[in-house]
Amino acid sequence: MIRPPLTRFCLIRHGETDWNGAKRIQGHIDIDLNAAGQAQARALRRGLSAHAFAAAFSSDLLRAWNTAQIATSGLGLAVSPAPTFRERHFGVMQGVTTLEASERFPEALRHHKARTPDYDFESGESLNDFAARIMAALDALAVLHAGQNVLVFTHGGVLDVVYRAATGREQHLPRDFLLPNAALNWVGRDDQGWKLISWADCSHLNRALDEVLE
């Protein structure tokens, strides 16, 4: 019996923003790249040029979209906007640091640190709903592009969800893996499910910040 082919995804967290440096939660707030993020996106061309992709998609938030546009320039890739790959909506926590949240939204911060699966930050998105959104979109692309390489520009929270799906690590457990800006992260999908291929490849970069610690 012939098994369905492996679909390979290269997932990239956007380049750095000023809010990343300040460890300020962005969520759906549309923050653009800073100069370091633009440089990371240019460096991504080197990392991507060694691979062929059947399709490329990007979150429509500026930090991901502009990373995609810069990184694919000259590579002959047309990037399609994909709002489904936006970051999680963090509700009342959007726009604040963890220190500010400890003063203004202590209950929300407690749930954030605990990774409470069904908590939605009062006006945002629960971890369960967020993970379901991301994995449904990737499952659909895996069918559409079976056996091919697919490139996705997205966000740290999205990568967190995907890493856990590929390694069997439950969503509520603390993070023990890196989510650097503009790194190459490869996962695969076949009839046996999701699997990790390689993660957090920063060999093309001089600088890459990790995602805000959970």
Q: What is the residue whose two structure tokens read 């091919």?
A: 148
Looking at 14, 112, 155, 204, which residue is catalytic? 14
Beta bridge partners of 57: 80, 152
* Residue 87 is among the residues annotated as catalytic for this protein: yes
- CA trace torsion 39, 161, 88, 18 (10° rounding): -20
Q: Which residues contact 6 (CB under 8 A, 6 or more apart)?
A: 147, 188, 189, 190
Residue 204: active-site member: no
Q: Which tokens is 75 given?
A: 């590579």
Rounded distance between C-alpha atoms, residue 6 and residue 93, angstroms: 38
Query: One of 16, 28, 87, 214 is an active-site residue; which one?
Result: 87
Q: Which two tokens stand for residue 6?
A: 């492996």
Active site residues: 14, 87
